[in-house]
Amino acid sequence: MALDPKQQADIDAIRAQSFPTRRATVPALEEMLYTALPVLDHGFVRVIDYMGDDGAVVQAARVSYGRGTRKVSEDAGLIRYLMRHRHSTPFEMCEIKYHVKLPIFVARQWIRHRTANVNEISARYSILDREFYLPAPEHLAAQSEINRQGRGAVLEGENAARVLDLLREDSLRAHDHYMELLNEDDDGQARDPSRPGLARELARMNLTLNTYTQWYWKTDLHNLLHFLSLRADSHAQYEIRVYADAMLKTVEAWVPACYAAFRDYRMGAVTFSASMLAVLRRMLAGEAVTRETSGMGQREWAEFQATLAAPHP
């Protein structure tokens, strides 16, 4: 993902500004502020603004007037307690706002998380750029035979080349027709004065789902961590997972104590059902438990076995 000179100049101008403040700031995140973290071929994530830090979580949990005189280790211990016991409201005291550029089909998956304030660029008012997501060859995969929403083996050779050609050709042709329907140039003037252009709100329906869109996405830390626990997971679709991975870097810079607790108690943890826990206790007692004697269904048993065999992250 490359920024054009104007975009880079705009970012540099904003980053050059400095404002005196009495509110909590985080130097590591301040250093990242406004900077675009590249994602996919044309996408990015960048932090636009934030409120609060690790101390704000602790302050809310203790309902204190200030930061107090407790040691950092004590604050980290409290944060770990809050995370471990799923006390969510203190984490809601921190907020962050992102500017994200992403393919439309990723945006439609992302918007399922209805816990943020979102403002997306409107193709009723703006003309969308001629930019499309084309998967790298290693991410071109066939449909999984065992998972309806997953991928199977990577496509190779002529088959992979043909798929990429089709994706590229369809995207370019759709955008060419989109511009023809609009009948507008970059300055909003008619390309062909002899005919009217189609309304932007109608012309946009011709675009492919790999066309890039942009939005501002603001959420609190609790809901952000829930989003990341699902979308940074290895089972999430690759195209949204890489955005979550980029956002994890900003969380680590912003609230390192919260991030460490999240990594240990969410990302690096597993959840057992009551039946799984009962079987685990039987195994620890020395019993040779089989699926038939476990009381679990075949799928739950397979998930249980996979969890026990999985390496610790």
- Residues with a catalytic annotation lie at 231
What is the DSSP code (8-state) at residue 311?
A: P
Whether 251 and 259 have beta carbons less than 8 Å apart is answered as: yes
Distance CA(90)–CA(179), nearest Å, equals 49
First to last CA, the chain: 29
Round to whole Å and give the CA distance between 231 and 115.
14
Q: Which two tokens stand for residue 31?
A: 């250093």
Residue pair 243/111 in contact (Cβ under 8 Å)? The answer is no
Q: Annotate 192-216 with DSSP letters as a single string.
A: STTSPPPPHHHHGGGS-TTBEEEEE
Measure Cα distances from 78 to 26, 85, 189, 225 in Å: 20, 11, 60, 17
Q: How far apart are CA 140 and CA 205, in angstroms?
A: 26
Tokens of 218: 């603001």
Cβ–Cβ < 8 Å for 183, 192:
yes
Closest among 239, 234, 184 to 209, alpha carbons compared: 239
Q: Whose CA is closest to 95, among 12, 14, 23?
A: 23
Element (H, E) at 48: strand 43-51
Phi, psi of 269 (to 5 degrees): -115, 165
Contact 167, 210 (CB under 8 A): yes
Residue 132, SS3 per DSSP = strand
